[in-house]
Amino acid sequence: MVMDLHVSLPRGLTLANPVIAASGTFGFGPEYSRYVDIGSLGAVSVKGVSPEPWLGNPPPRVWETPMGLLNSIGLQNPGMEVFVRDDLPFLREKGATVIVNIIGHTVDEYARVASRMQGEAGVAALEVNISCPNIKEGGMSFGHDPEQAYQVTRAVRQATDLPVMVKLSPNVTSPALIAQAVEQAGADMISAINTVVGLAIDVEHRRPALGGTTGGLSGPAIKPIALRVVYDVAQSVSIPIIGMGGIASAADVLEFLLAGASAVMVGTVTFQHPGRMQQIIAELPQVLSRGGFRGVSGAVGQALPAASRPQTRGGDL
Amino acid sequence: MAGQQFHDGQVDARIVRREEVARDHVELILESPALARAVPGQFAHILTPGMLRRPVSFSRIEPDSGRVGLLFQVVGEGTAWLANCQEGERLDILGPLGHGFAPPDPSRPWCLVGGGVGIPPLYSAAAQWRESAPDVIIGARTREWVLMQKDFEQLGLGVRVTTDDGSWGQAGTVIGPLQEWLEGHADGQVFSCGPTPMLAAVASACRGRAAAQVALEQRMGCGIGACLACVVPARGQTQMEYRRVCTEGPVFLAEELIW
């Protein structure tokens, strides 16, 4: 049967399929292109880009946990000019749908990156990262307070007419409150969740295992947390949600769609299986079909309480 | 998920031999013409049941037979799983990855300095460039962890051995014999691999006296340069910067790093 994997998102953003490479796990594009046809993915969200280069956190930067991965990279990146000069042309040439993940220490820095990407050929959307747990100043704090989340989203909104999604933290009492704030500030979409803040201990050296002390947990361990946040946020805002957190299979994708996500991001599993995203895309039609759906959009939100469920035309599931 | 797809740069390699070379140390010989194109110092990134692959440097690289060796120490769950793999089983490997050693200049004296599980990649360098006949200094905590001494000797190379506890060779570390070698050889070149404190001491001993290439270990994520996990501090043009062990390394010039 013909299965429609297309995803239509605000401001004319259309994805060929709902599987997006998650920011921070896929570099700036060229790194994985030997293993993955990056043009065949729904989109690629590149590693966080700031106005000036960021050094990142001291190593060690990763630590394995049961079914999870703790990282403390600290948003190391070469700055927006190097990204535009060195990586964006490659992404364009490969036909990738590019989401630029933007970061800053101040509201103004976020706005500067947004403004720089405006009109830059090949940039399809922005993802405002207000939720990285590995940055002490700026970064995460914007995602922990509705007023600050509003301010930074507003500034980005005014700097660009690109589609804007805001990436939420699970490390707050109510992600839904933050989601409502960024929706009011003009965000077109929400992406959720960023990593869950955690700590590992290096017993041999009697100290925290990561150079940055705490880190962000990703991988299958956080999938239930992510689903809970997507499910809550979907009932609190009317803009689309890009869900992520521990997705490793097409079956996982369907869970996120049913919980209210319109598309998904896949990250940590790529470290084990570079080709897994393409495999998920290949297997998604069968998984949707088995679930009784004819396309991606028909599945979105179908596990939500009836009052929050998107309207579906009869027989369009 | 059934039937993992393989891509360019991803190898399905069969284990043709497995040997416990010392307590907690296993060498797997793999059949893989693609991996056998490796440069000494490069590594294989091996899928294990954990969340991350495990990087292991090549101990042997034999393009003629299409075989490579991976000699590693069992330090955790991933390497314990790998050590239990049997002949005939297959491994899912990304590689060869990273920058290996630059070939030695045959007109200058050359010395290999290895510590513990850092010794095997130096053997692959000695075998690849055997006509340059390096002097070899290897050390370990104790006698049974002095790896591959016989292999070096079968190449006809002179090997000096040190052990921390004096149970084999000279008591002490590799730094003593290295100092002597540096005094006897002007304009030398040193290839080294081992624990980071040992490499720092090698870098310090070689400063201003010999060109040193060092192969580093670091906790690694993707292995191909995307995640920026495995970085080490290096001297940038104007200030400190982090470089990736998986991509700019594992082999660096000692002088480019901040120790």
Here the ipTM equals: 0.93
**pLDDT score for A132:** 78
pLDDT tens digits, A245-281 = 999 999 999 999 999 999 999 999 999 999 999 999 9
User: For residue B226, which residues of chain A lie inside 8 Å, CB to CB?
Assistant: 25-27, 31-32, 47
CB contact under 8 A, A59 and B218: yes
Q: Mean pLDDT, to the nearest integer, of B166-187?
A: 97
The active-site residue, picked from A132, A200, A239, A258, is A132
Rg of chain A on CA atoms, in Å = 18
What residues of chain A, 30 to 59, have a C-beta less than 8 Å from chain B?
31-32, 34-36, 47, 55-56, 58-59
Instruction: Report chain B residues whose CB lies below 8 A from the CB of A198.
Output: none
The pLDDT of residue A136 is: 61
Task: Give the residue-averaged pLDDT of A83-93.
Answer: 97
pLDDT value at A88 more than 60: yes
User: What tens digit of pLDDT does each residue of A30-64 get?
Assistant: 999 999 999 999 999 999 999 999 999 999 999 99
For residue A31, which of A71, A107, A90 has the smallest C-alpha distance? A90
Q: Is A132 a catalytic residue?
A: yes
Q: How many CB atoms lie within 10 A of CB B153?
A: 12
**pLDDT tens per residue across span A188-235:** 999 999 999 999 999 999 999 999 999 999 999 999 999 999 999 999
**Contacts A–B by Cβ distance under 8 A:** 113
pLDDT band at A315; cut points 50, 70, 90: very low
Minimum Cα–Cα distance from A37: chain B residue = B7
- Rounded mean pLDDT of A130-139? 70
**Is pLDDT above 60 for A314?**
no
Q: Give the residue from A199, A52, A22, A181 showing the smallest Cα distance to A113.
A: A52
Check CB contact of A266 with chain B, cutoff 8 Å: no
Q: Which of B70, B159, B76, B54 is nearest to B121 (CA)?
A: B70
Distance from CA of A277 to the nearest CA of B (A): 11
Cα separation, B32 vs A207, whole angstroms: 41
The closest alpha carbon to A13, from A134, A189, A135, belongs to A189
Q: What is the pLDDT of residue B1?
A: 37
Q: What percent of chain A has pLDDT over 90?
A: 91
Exposed (0-12), middle (13-18) or buried (19+): which is B240, by Cβ within 10 Å? exposed
Q: Per residue in B3-62, pLDDT tens? A: 455 566 899 999 999 999 999 999 999 999 999 999 999 999 999 999 999 999 999 999
pLDDT per position as a tens digit, B211-247: 999 999 899 999 999 999 999 999 998 899 999 999 9
Which residues are within 8 A (CB) of A300 and not within 5 positions of it... i.e. 6 or more apart? Answer: A257, A258, A260, A261, A262, A310
Q: For residue A317, is pLDDT > 80?
A: no
Domains parsed from chain A with CATH numbers: 7-56+73-196+217-308 (3.20.20.70)
- Chain A residues with CB-CB distance to B241 below 8 A: 55
Interface probe, candidates A272, A278, A283, chain B, greatest B C-beta count within 10 A: A272
pLDDT per position as a tens digit, B101-135: 999 999 999 999 999 999 999 999 999 999 999 99
Q: What is the pLDDT of residue B7?
A: 60
Taking a contact as any Cβ pair under 8 Å apart, which residues of chain A between 200 and 229 contact chain B? 219
Least confident stretch, A129-133, A230-234, A242-246, B247-251: A129-133
How much is the pLDDT for A312? Answer: 56
At A273-313, the pLDDT tens digits run 999 999 999 999 999 999 999 999 999 999 999 989 887 54
Task: Compute CA distances A252 → A20, A22, A63, A194, A195, whole Å.
Answer: 14, 15, 24, 17, 17
Interface with chain B: mutation pick from A64, A202, A286, highest number of B CBs within 10 Å: A64
Q: Determine the Cα–Cα distance for residues B110 and B125; give it in Å rounded to an integer.
A: 11
Domains of chain B: 10-97 (2.40.30.10), 110-215 (3.40.50.80)
Q: Answer yes or no: do B51 and A71 touch at CB < 8 A.
A: no
What's chain A's average pLDDT?
A: 94
> What part of A 268-297 touches B (C-beta under 8 Å)?
268, 270-276, 278-279, 283
